[in-house]
Structure 1
Amino acid sequence: MNNTNTLKLTEGAMMTAFFAVLLLITVYVPFISIASAFFLLLPFLLYSVKYSIRASLVMLAASIGVAAIVGGPISIPVAILYGTTGVMMGWLVQQGKSKFMIFMISTLVFVVNIVVQYLFSILLLGINMIDEFITLMDDSLEQAIAVYTAAGIDTGDVQEQFAQIMLAFETLLPSLIIMSSALLIWIMMIINFPLVKRIAKKDMPKFDAFRNLSLPKNVIWYYLIILLTALIATPEQGTMFAYALINLQFGFELLMILQGLAFIHFYGHLKGWNRGLLVILTILGVLINPLTRILGIIDLGFDLRKRITEKK
């Protein structure tokens, strides 16, 4: 028993030190930090796949303290963000959850962290990072316009286009946060899961083939309700209802595009198309996404895959 506790403490200390090194590289080494950021949750993942959630939380607390010492107060949110995500990811692996379930829950934890830390920075520190970013972009544009105006170049269209882009950015910000978080979690799982399998000698779950991806049937009904609400209701621009409606519509449209792309891969596999052709069709499907979205709606709403399989 004592040997087990000693081993647990020793590995916890090693993983905490490992995280401190990764954090120092991420904070202080400019170019390498881009790569090291993808490995920040690896120490927590390695530890939590082997030990209990209680021991993992103790290691997380120690890592937060070490982060404050080696990187200063600004490193604490980073440690909390990657630490909680890594611990949750490792615990789900330990519980035998599917890779898709791990991906979804880890993304949720990551997004909740971002939102809570954003609210914390506003309420307690009085810093609104989004407003700061928009102000910085506005200042940069004004400087660029001043240079072009002095050179005798008309910048009226540029100002109008920039205003539209910034309005779209502000409106779709919640969806963009979720998308970017999901993409980051997906990349980190691809990179770190093989390392955990090799180092910890732990069997890691695998994603099912993309062609087998199919959303729950209820999703299409939710999507239709959102579309009908957008057509019937006329919410005032800038209200919470308008923001929620636009983001929900954007999110469900992305899901339908994903369903359409999965159907393309399913049909390609059925017909024996080579991988190069599927890559080209995937790129075209993203570029002409309205058609892909319609294909996803038909596939989900009318059991297109089932019909094709039965016919074949």
Structure 2
Amino acid sequence: MKSHWTSIAWSAVYLLLLLSLLTPLTVITAFFLVIPGIILYTTLPRKRFVVHVAAVWIIVAVIGTLVWSYLIGAVLLLQALYFLIPSLVMGHLYKKRASAVKIVISGAGVILLEFLLILMIGTLFLDFNLAASIEDIMNNAMAPLQNVTDPSLTGGIAWSPEMTEQFSSYTVRFIPFTLILCSLLISTVSHAIVRPTLGSMGHVVSKLPALRDWRLPRSLIWYYLIATILAMFAGSAANEGFLGMILDNLIPLLQAFFIIQTASFIFFVAYHKKWNPILAVLGVILLLFIPGLWLLGLLDIAFPLREMITRSRR
């Protein structure tokens, strides 16, 4: 009976999260939409899972159609399908008791592939232009600033259509980097919530290693070195082309990985030196504001810094 009411509660959460896609809260709730599907798929028999999901989708479609329109109802169902697919993949891996790392990476990969597929379909078959869409959004957002002549209200910045076009092009250029990070974030947040939830329901679920024990592959250093050299010597013509777009996304992505490795090293040192955990948290906060501190993560991958620290304690 308890399991029955738990399933109904998560179905209700699923319904509310789907309806939130029509509100400004979607910027936040989109990061949690994978979670109900994972829990329902992992804890329910397949037929009961289908019944719960179908019931939620029918209610969402009816509300979307009656309150807004048939088009809104259909869009909500498509969005529900989008978030359900990674839920099924991650839920299947939870049932198989796969490692946490495999679950997180698989979930992020599916989310990323889905978005790329949607972008490709929109571009090839629906004549969708992402750059033009972003430029239209920016024009609408910045239109009030273009009509304001008082420097005190605009911060001394004279916003022009040319600046909007440049900003839109810059945004489109960094979409791959943004998508990868968002996919990883959605998958990681989902696992962070699903694991203890399933554990409280009696399911054995592996957890990610403690942050202080994370060691990223040494090959990342070579990727960063090659990307940096190419960026230095490729020339301005290449930097503006396809190669330049790859480098513009690859270099900050690798730097983000090195930031994570630096945070791991800080927690490792704090743990073995028996520092107050607050100091480690403060160190990670400083990491976000001090340029170049991520190089510590690169050095941690390249050299046996941790072995030197633990050896000195013996």
Bucket of the pairwise TM-score, normalised by the shorter protein: 0.7 to 0.9
Of 34, 41, 54, the match for 1:48: 41
Residue 93 of structure 2: aligned partner: 92
Residue 281 of structure 2: aligned partner: 279
> Is the contact between residue 220 and residue 301 of structure 1 (CA under 8 Å) also seen in structure 2?
yes
Residue 22 of structure 1: aligned partner: 16
Offset of residue 58 of structure 1? 9.2
Offset of residue 147 of structure 1? 1.9
Residue 232 of structure 2: aligned partner: 231
Residues 148-206 of structure 1 deviation map (CA, whole Å, 9 limit, x = unaligned): 369997955555876665443222111012112222332233233333333x4212222
The residue identity in structure 2 corresponding to 1:176 is T
CA distance in 2, matches of 1:16, 1:307: 48
Alpha-carbon distance change, 189 to 50 in structure 1, aligned in 2, over 3 angstroms: same
Offset of residue 236 of structure 1? 2.9
When the two structures are superposed, what TM-score results if normalisation uses the length of structure 1?
A: 0.80
Identity of aligned residues (%): 24
CA distance in 2, matches of 1:79, 1:304: 46
> Is the contact between residue 256 and residue 293 of structure 1 (CA under 8 Å) also seen in structure 2?
yes
Tell me the SS of whatever aligns to 2:294. Answer: helix
When the two structures are superposed, what TM-score results if normalisation uses the length of structure 2?
A: 0.79
Alpha-carbon distance change, 264 to 97 in structure 1, aligned in 2, over 3 angstroms: same
Residue 252 of structure 1: aligned partner: 254
Residues 203-243 of structure 1 deviation map (CA, whole Å, 9 limit, x = unaligned): 22222111111101222122212122222222434321110
Offset of residue 135 of structure 1? 1.4
Residues 46-85 of structure 1 deviation map (CA, whole Å, 9 limit, x = unaligned): 2332468899789878876775555411113311221011
Residue 110 of structure 1: aligned partner: 111
The residue identity in structure 2 corresponding to 1:240 is F
Residue 209 of structure 1: aligned partner: 210
After TM superposition, list the pairs within 5 Å mapping 1:99-248 onto structure 2: 99-129=100-130, 131-148=132-149, 158-159=159-160, 165-198=167-200, 200-234=201-235, 235-248=237-250
More off after superposition, 43-52 vs 255-264: 43-52
Alpha-carbon distance change, 150 to 224 in structure 1, aligned in 2, over 3 angstroms: closer
Alpha-carbon distance change, 131 to 137 in structure 1, aligned in 2, over 3 angstroms: same
Of 238, 241, 262, the match for 2:264: 262
Unmatched runs of 5 consecutive residues or more in structure 2: 65-72
